[in-house]
Amino acid sequence: MAADPDFSEALRCIRCAACADVCPPYQVVGGHAFGYVYSGAIGLVNTSFHHGLEAAAGPQSLCFSCNACATVCPVSIPLPRLILDVRRRVAERFGLRLGKRLAMAVWSRPRLFRAALSLARWIQTPFVRGKQLRLWLPKALRWRTLPALAARPARAMLIGRDLAVERSAPLAQSGAHGLTVAYFIQCVTDGFAPEQASAAVKILRACGARVVVPEGQHCCGLPALDTGDPATARAMARQTIATLEACHADWIVTAAASCAIAIMHDYGELLRNEAGWRERAGALAARTLDLVSFMERVVKLPAGTLAGPQGTDRLTYHGFCQSTNVLGINGSATRLLREVCGLEIRELPEGEVCCGFGGSTSMEHPEVAREIVARKLDNVAQTEATVLVTDNPGCLLHLRGAADARGMRLRLAHVAEILAERLDQRRS
């Protein structure tokens, strides 16, 4: 382990167990479900060396990639990266499961991916009820209903468009005035939540920015990286970098915080052995922001700009765990909603703790995801909120499905949608 440059940092561990204390799946399943003697995030790393990769092969997939462990480690072990490295080695030794191989084969080919979604859109028609599907599911999966694909994807409305500053833009004197913003849609938003992309573009234009939506954009590669398939992730990262570079924008913005994090924090590590691409990744990362950060750091709307009647809705906010643990923007979205929009936001207990989505992890370990999201929704119920706002599409779809299966009367909305609604109220 000491001789391995990828893992020697784990030997700084002082056995304090702080990483276990903050780990959402560990709180649900407890100790030895994590594999062998060593528990929590550090256990997923140590087990592969102390007891062999076979002993770590199953437990490593319990990681939901919330990155909370990295924020509390007193000796700064990069645990999220090391766990992904274990996952990669497991995939190299034992191979990806057939379902994952097929999913990545489709996902990494844009035309095939869009064709598959078009077919699924046609097949789902008899089962769509609002934004969810009504399908028979095994008992172990009935805690969450599945999201329906949107009738019209975001790319059909936005891709390839060059949208000038909105005429008489109401917020045109913001810090975004005169800037060109390249908008990255995100593959999940494209298929399942096009309203989020439309809302984000609307608010950016209203703030005085020219918005371009580059053709050729597809997926940042995060699903492949999280699956343990870095080769596919690298190919998708290169394609994303080349696509976003070509539009010569001042900023790259996306309402999908997970994609912003991939571009800003994962690409450099992913492409570390390719000097040219690593430098290009660094240059792109320097001008990439998630929507909330862009509104706070660049746009800088004065307090009360989008204030209006509160209405009867009672709002609370779930912060995407990586927005807090990686981007460090804890409280940014609630400040935006409270100060700029004048909204009352009810404090959500454990509001920055993972909701249990974790991409494919919630499908691979549904019994664990069920318990994590149940705790989240119990906390939401305490607030008596009627609207739950968040900043990441994956969290939103996951929470909406779990709330729907519970029968909760709860609207799920992206922060971009709330901003766009307040903008429309200002105009009316």
* pLDDT tens profile 86-129: 999 999 999 888 888 999 999 999 999 999 999 999 999 999 99
- Strand-pair category, 210-212 with 162-163: antiparallel
Mean pLDDT of 196-218: 96
Q: In sequence order, what are the residues at sequence separation of 6 or more whose Cβ sits closer than 8 angstroms to the Cβ of residue 121?
A: 149, 151
Which of the two residues, 341 and 37, has the higher pLDDT score?
341
Q: What percent of the chain has pLDDT over 90?
A: 80
pLDDT tier at 237, thresholds 50, 70, 90: very high
CATH no. for 8-94: 1.10.1060.10
Distance CA 428, CA 425 (A): 5
254, pLDDT greater than 90: yes
- Burial zone of 151 (CB within 10 Å; 0-12 exposed, 13-18 middle, 19+ buried): exposed
168, pLDDT greater than 90: no
Q: Would you state the pLDDT for residue 35? A: 64
Find out whether 55 and 48 touch, Cβ atoms under 8 Å. yes
Find out whether 260 and 326 touch, Cβ atoms under 8 Å. no
Are 8-94 and 154-299 in the same CATH fold?
A: no
With H, G, I as helix, E, B as strand and everything else as coil, classify residue 301.
coil
Domain assignments of the chain as residue spans, ordered by start:
8-94, 154-299, 315-427
Number of other CB atoms surrounding residue 401 within 10 Å: 22
Helix (H) or strand (E) holding 188: helix 187-192
Find out whether 35 and 57 touch, Cβ atoms under 8 Å. no
Site of tokens 């996951």 = 398
Q: Would you state the pLDDT for residue 148? A: 97
25, pLDDT greater than 70: yes
Distance CA 226, CA 87 (A): 8
pLDDT tier at 344, thresholds 50, 70, 90: very high
Distance CA 383, CA 378 (A): 9
Q: Would you state the pLDDT for residue 360? A: 83
**114-125: string of b/e by CB count within 10 Å (b at 16+)?**
beebeeebeeee
C-alpha closest to that of 402 among 384, 382, 368, 376: 376
172, pLDDT greater than 90: no
Mean pLDDT of 150-158: 95
pLDDT tier at 330, thresholds 50, 70, 90: confident
Distance CA 117, CA 192 (A): 10
240, pLDDT greater than 90: yes
31, pLDDT greater than 70: no
C-alpha closest to that of 96 among 57, 45, 48, 64: 57
6, pLDDT greater than 90: no
356, pLDDT greater than 70: yes
CATH no. for 315-427: 3.40.50
164, pLDDT greater than 70: yes
**261-281: string of b/e by CB count within 10 Å (b at 16+)?**
bbbbbbbbebbeeeeebbebb
Q: In sequence order, what are the residues at sequence separation of 6 or more whose Cβ sits closer than 8 angstroms to the Cβ of residue 45?
A: 7, 10, 79, 82, 83, 86
Q: What is the pTM of this model?
A: 0.94
Mean pLDDT of 32-54: 83
Helix (H) or strand (E) holding 163: strand 162-163
**17-26: string of b/e by CB count within 10 Å (b at 16+)?**
bbbbebbbbb
Query: What does the mean pLDDT of the chain come to?
Result: 93
Lowest mean pLDDT: which of 52-56, 110-114, 389-393? Answer: 52-56
223, pLDDT greater than 90: yes
Where do the H-state alpha helices sit in 24-171? 24-29, 40-50, 53-57, 68-72, 79-94, 98-107, 110-123, 154-158
Is the domain covering 154-299 a CATH 3.40.50 domain? yes
Find out whether 213 and 158 touch, Cβ atoms under 8 Å. yes
Mean pLDDT of 298-307: 94
Q: Would you state the pLDDT for residue 62? A: 83
One DSSP character per residue, 45-75 reads HHHHHHS-HHHHHTGGGG-----HHHHH-TT
